[in-house]
A and B are shown apart, each in its own frame.
Chain A
Amino acid sequence: MSHSSMWGSISGIIRRDLLLAMRRWSDAAMSLFFLVIVVSLFPLGVGPEPAVLRTIAPGVLWVAALLTCLLSLARVFTPDYLDGVLEQMVLVPQPLSLLVLGKVLAHWVISGFPVVLLSPLLGLQFGLEGEALGVLVLSLLLGTPTLSMIGAIGAALVLGVRGSGLLVALLVLPLYVPVLIFGAGAVTSSVAGIGGEANLSLLGACLVLSLFLAPWATAAALRIALE
């Protein structure tokens, strides 16, 4: 297959999914509000001491980002599964893993990238400032695409299965552990003054690995679900 048609199929899928998401913009807005509410609950539960908040900020923001990604996973494949578009995607000559890559990238633009954009604001709420805030944004920028890639595997596995909402959480959350550790670790070490470069590099490594392997596993899971 030629280079241009490869990009054509990916960008076609991305354009279509973004258009659909814009027509139903309230879905994306809902997960953002969820993020803001979850993050705002922690100071209410833990207490408003700035030192405590600054300590828990990386973990809280990262866990909230994780949950937001998790909640939006049902939207990656389910609508296409229900109206039969997914079956056509399996049948077209373009490799399914490429189309999956397009869908996952669109999912990240819709539900991951807004989290990255919103994170400095949430970080300020927790008293993060300066370099730590920058590292938070950078870690989310590197980490949230990985969350979407791994999440897509889970979403494909539970497609059309009863109780899929809880099941996908059970499958995907353990797989998210390394990203959580490296992401929150980058911010924590930046707050501690030892710099977050090592953790950011590891996040980048996770992203490359998942970009390489996850579309393939997701495509396999989709084929199983549709046969």
Chain B
Amino acid sequence: MIWSKYSAPQVFYPLAGRLIPWFAAVAVLLMIVGLYMGFFVAPTDFQQGESYRIIFVHVPAAWMSMFLYVVMAIWAGVGMGLNARLSFMMAQAIAPTGAMFTFLALLTGAMWGKPTWGAWWVWDARLTSELILLFQYAGVMLLRTSIDDARRADRSSAVFALVGVVNVPIIYYSVQWWNTLHQGASVSMATGSKMAATMLMAMLIMTIAFWLYSIAVILARVRCVMVERESLPTWDEKPAAMSEAVEAR
């Protein structure tokens, strides 16, 4: 089987359309299971009480936010290396979902921080580097939208995404060292090292659910990007209209 044939948007479009419902359905199912386990089955934490339950959303969201940035940078790098349109489209489609997860991680972090630390926001290393990650997502997206020429927009935001991926670990460690200089570790996350099996299970299920959700949403968005960029009618529905449009060009 030749996988490279799917790098043509015309071939990828209907494939993505067929895959989306499956990913979306399993994502919803796992999210229901994971949230039920997290909110009703997992035992109450003896230190933090019920408020710790936000981690079933918070931790998977934070993982996804970082993971998606790397995936976006890989697609951008592949696009630069192979000069493949689809790779740039994937990078473009991933950015908003990654930014959404970054925001979600910050929001749930604040909601957890208020009852636990007594403050909505502390300049903790994790929080700060997550905030800067959000700025980088914003930079990638804004750079793309400010450049009118699609080819330049693709390649410029790819360069910025790649520069950012070098910078993210440096930022993480610099913020961590800065933090230890300024204040002692206010709360150690290591208290959860003996995490109950159901907690771990719920968190893993939520992580897989977020993965599948991301795939579904990104595939749906990449279809929109294709329709928008290629200025074609929706491909799988009206094959006749598409060939007309191709001929007209």
Contact = CB atoms under 8 A, between A and B. Distances in A.
A153 B184 CA distance: 36
Given A170-B142, A185-B181, A178 B170 contact: yes
Interface residues of A, number: 29
A181 B164 CA distance: 17
Interface residues of B, number: 27
Interface string A188-200: 1100000000000
B108 interface: no
Contacts of B143: 157-158, 161, 167, 171
Contact of B135 (A162, A174, A181, A202): A174
A114 B46 CA distance: 58
A162 B136 CA distance: 19
B155 interface: yes
Contacts of B36: none
Nearest to A218: B159
A154 to B, nearest CB: 8
A182 interface: yes
B159 A220 contact: yes
Interface string B110-138: 00000000000000000000001001101
A213 B204 CA distance: 37
Nearest to B147: A161
**Consensus secondary structure, chain A interface:** helix
B146 A163 contact: yes
Contacts of B167: 174-175, 178
A217 B156 contact: no
Interface stretch (B97-105, B171-179, B194-202, B214-222): B171-179
B167 to A, nearest CB: 5
Given A174-B135, A225-B156, A167 B146 contact: yes
Most buried by B among A161, A162, A171, A206: A171
B83 to A, nearest CB: 12
B166 A213 contact: yes
Interface string A8-45: 00000000000000000000000000000000000000
Contacts of A163: 146
B139 interface: yes
B181 to A, nearest CB: 6
Contacts of B174: 177-178, 181-182, 202
Contacts of B146: 158, 161-164, 167
13 contacts: A153-B159, A161-B146, A161-B147, A170-B142, A173-B135, A174-B135, A174-B167, A175-B164, A177-B132, A178-B167, A185-B177, A213-B166, A221-B156
4 interchain residue pairs of minimum CB distance: A178-B174, A174-B135, A224-B155, A181-B178
Given A157-B156, A224-B156, 18 more contacts: A153-B163, A157-B159, A158-B146, A161-B143, A162-B146, A167-B142, A170-B139, A171-B139, A174-B132, A178-B167, A181-B175, A185-B177, A185-B181, A213-B166, A217-B159, A221-B156, A225-B152, A227-B151
Interface of B: 132, 135-136, 138-139, 142-143, 146-147, 151-152, 155-156, 159-160, 162-164, 166-167, 170-171, 174-175, 177-178, 181
